[in-house]
A = this chain, B = another copy of it.
Amino acid sequence: VAEVKFTPPATVAIGGLGVIGGSVALALKERGVNVVGFAGREDTALARKAGILTAETLIAAVRGAELVLLAVPVRVLRQASIVVHETTTAPVLHVASVQRASSLGFAPGEWVPVGTHPLAGSHRSGFAGADPQMFRGARISVETRASAAERAAAQWLWTTLGAAKIELRDADAHDRQVAWISHLPQLASVGLAAAIAGSGEKAIALGPGGRDATRLAGSRFDLWREIVGANADDVAKALEALEAEMRSMREAIVGGSDEALKKQWERARAWRESAGGKQ
């Protein structure tokens, strides 16, 4: 990340106080940064109870802030961006799970805030799921097109929140990556839960491993529909690859092909063990 003269913002405006925006708000407040949030009624009420200052409008939240973070659903990001861009000259970052401008509904040539997607999150949603520790150790993918000022702002924001690594990547590379490492696990978890549900077996009987494997199936459809819809081409490729792996596995088990199954398993296991961290 480039070195620029950067003064940490005294006030950060956050549009959207769901699980991500709410977590950022709580974490910044803990670190003594002024936060002004703007969100829907329910998240606003919960955020206020947690001591977060909120504004009546997005414009009011953004005025006077030296950094703006848009943590709104994908479907309203373009509209929120237009409002913010008309109101401030401060750096504006977003945290959407996809970053290609066209996928986010922007027209060619329109101004688009800079994506800084944290690979963190929760199957919970809304401010009720917010957690100031959420970004501890997280990896953040910042768009390469960011200006020096925007990079410095992103660097300050995410390291302040405890992120472990900030990676510069263009929107195409980012969206391809998240199709595999984020969207595919989400969809696999839903498919797995749907398959078991269809068998008539009860979820209460799941052991800890089965709980882990299906945890993401507790995520909200409306948020994921937007994300997956915005990244449909890459997601479809990833789903095809998963189907192929499951088919090979079944054929190896039915055919008693120990060697084929072992190769696939050891490849998966070696890859997973390279994840490091808390596993």
Q: How far is the CA of A244 from the CA of B184 in the complex (A)?
A: 16
C-alpha gap A253/B276 in the complex (Å)? 32
- Contact check: which of B214, B264, B267, B276 meets A185 at CB < 8 Å? B214
Main secondary structure of the interface of A (DSSP, over half): helix
**Residue A203 interfacial (CB < 8 Å):** yes
Chain A contact patch, size range: 35 or more
Bound-state CA distance A186–B246 (Å) is: 12
- Which one of B139, B185, B196 contacts A271 once the chains associate, using CB atoms below 8 Å? B196
The verdict on A249 contacting chain B, using a C-beta distance below 8 Å, is yes
**Taking CB as reference atom, which chain B residue is nearest A214?**
B272
> Does A53 lie at the interface of the complex (its beta carbon under 8 Å from any beta carbon of B)?
no
Write 19 A-B pairs (CB below 8 A) sorted by A numbering: A119-B206, A139-B207, A181-B201, A184-B192, A184-B195, A185-B213, A190-B249, A191-B242, A191-B246, A198-B241, A199-B238, A203-B272, A209-B216, A214-B268, A218-B272, A220-B269, A221-B265, A221-B266, A239-B253
